Structure 1
Amino acid sequence: MAENLIFYTNPMSRGRIVRWMLEEVGQPYETQLLDYASTMKGDAFLAINPMGKVPAIRHGDHVVSECAAICAYLADAFPQAGLAPDPAHRADYYRWLFFAAGPVEQAVTNKALGFIPGADQMRMAGYGSYDLTVNVLERVVAAGPYVTGDAFTAADVYLGSQINWGVRFGTLPERPAFTAYLERILSRDAYIRASQMDDALMPEGAGAPG
């Protein structure tokens, strides 16, 4: 019997990334909707993720948190979906998946919080500068059509979600390469289906975040 796949989320969270990935995978899963003020900080969920945040998944006896890790795990757990290159051709896949999870996430968050590393802080920051990080991100998607070449992968789910939210909420600039890339990936049936599912779970009067 197949192992149960449980998805812990809130529609106003990065859980939307994992919902998209789950829909790309195409396997049945159970959704557990959590509230920021109560169940997300309750003992039952803290036993799943001690950070008390979503998303997270439980697959049989295995728990995975952090969006990039979940995307990579699901691609490996369900290889029939074709969302990861074969092991001999994963250099770009790993490189840019974790570039998005590391430098891009840090650079965008720091800028949004008003922290701009000075010249003597750039090495400590790791990503160098916001402008450098955005320029590299642009080059990655401009080389397209997808992160690893001609095939859509889990790296596109994660990196594409970062670009989509960044452009939508102004934490990333609008650039032609970003626009063209988003047009390619956001037209996928799994993305549209996942967005509709999460939008239906949004509180009344709240705008959809992605």
Structure 2
Amino acid sequence: MTDELVLYTNPTSRGRIARWMLEEIGQPYRAEIIDYGPGTKSPEFLAINPMGKLPVLRHGEIIITEAAAICAYLADAFPEAGLAPPPHDPRRGAYYRWLFFAAGPVESAVTNKALGVAVPENRQRMVGYGTFATTMDVLEQAISAGDYLVGDQFTAADVYVGSQIGFGLQFNSIDRRPAFERYWARVSDRAAHRRATGIDDGLIAARL
């Protein structure tokens, strides 16, 4: 596809995940920096994402919201980057599993813990993550099975899961386990991540 890639983002948002993914695929893109409040609630932005949330990716006439969906979309739209197992590859199951495990149970468990939401023991089946402790244990198992979530291939799942772990370690919202720290050190050392972080941190510094 030759349509322009446009990222609507803010350097303090989950748009950092999408920028990292864009840097991984190596395609030219343009970033539109959207301020919170009036920016995300303006009629122009709500026409793009009625949720008023960042990030949003526009690829030509295609609009994608949700950071995990943006990662999955870009991996499939630009297969030459090698950021997803090919269709019908048995590893694609694990790729989808851990990408959306982080977008679902991990995100919910971490958010509820940060908000002080305690799920009663007899209601744990009602929430997608069950318990925070179980979710952290399963996440540790997933990132400990190999160098990456799909064996020796770095994929979009590592971009998203790695970002969740990186944010969690930064803000103390997940357990500071050695396995998490080793995995984050490995994935965050990628050149694409360093470039993306440099761009977003530079934008933050410019506003101070």
- TM-score normalized with structure 2 length: 0.96
Q: Deviations over 1:92-130 (max 9, x none)?
A: 000000000000000000011001211111000121100
In structure 2, list runs of 5 or more residues that go unmatched: none
The answer to whether residue 16 in structure 2 is matched with residue 16 in structure 1 is: yes
SS at match of 2:204: coil
Q: Paired residue for 2:142?
A: 140
SS at match of 1:120: helix
RMSD (Å) for aligned C-alpha atoms: 1.2
Of 167, 172, 175 in structure 2, the residue corresponding to residue 173 of structure 1 is: 175
Q: State the distance in 1 between where 2:138 and 2:110 align.
A: 13
Equivalence map 1:150-169=2 (5 Å): 150-169=152-171
Of 183, 193, 197 in structure 2, the residue corresponding to residue 191 of structure 1 is: 193
Q: State the distance in 2 between where 1:63 and 1:182 align.
A: 30
Q: State the distance in 2 between where 1:8 and 1:151 align.
A: 28
Q: Paired residue for 1:86?
A: 86
In structure 1, list runs of 5 or more residues that go unmatched: none
What is the percentage of aligned positions where both structures have the same residue? 57
For residue 205 of structure 1, report the CA deviation from its aligned partner. Answer: 7.3
Distance 1:109 1:14, change over 3 A: same
4+ runs deviating over 2 angstroms: 203-206
For residue 38 of structure 1, report the CA deviation from its aligned partner. Answer: 1.6
Q: Paired residue for 2:74?
A: 74
Equivalence map 1:86-105=2 (5 Å): 86-89=86-89, 90-105=92-107
Q: State the distance in 1 between where 2:145 and 2:154 align.
A: 13
Amino acid at match of 1:197: I
Q: Paired residue for 2:3?
A: 3
- TM-score normalized with structure 1 length: 0.95
Q: Paired residue for 1:26?
A: 26
Q: State the distance in 2 between where 1:100 and 1:126 align.
A: 11
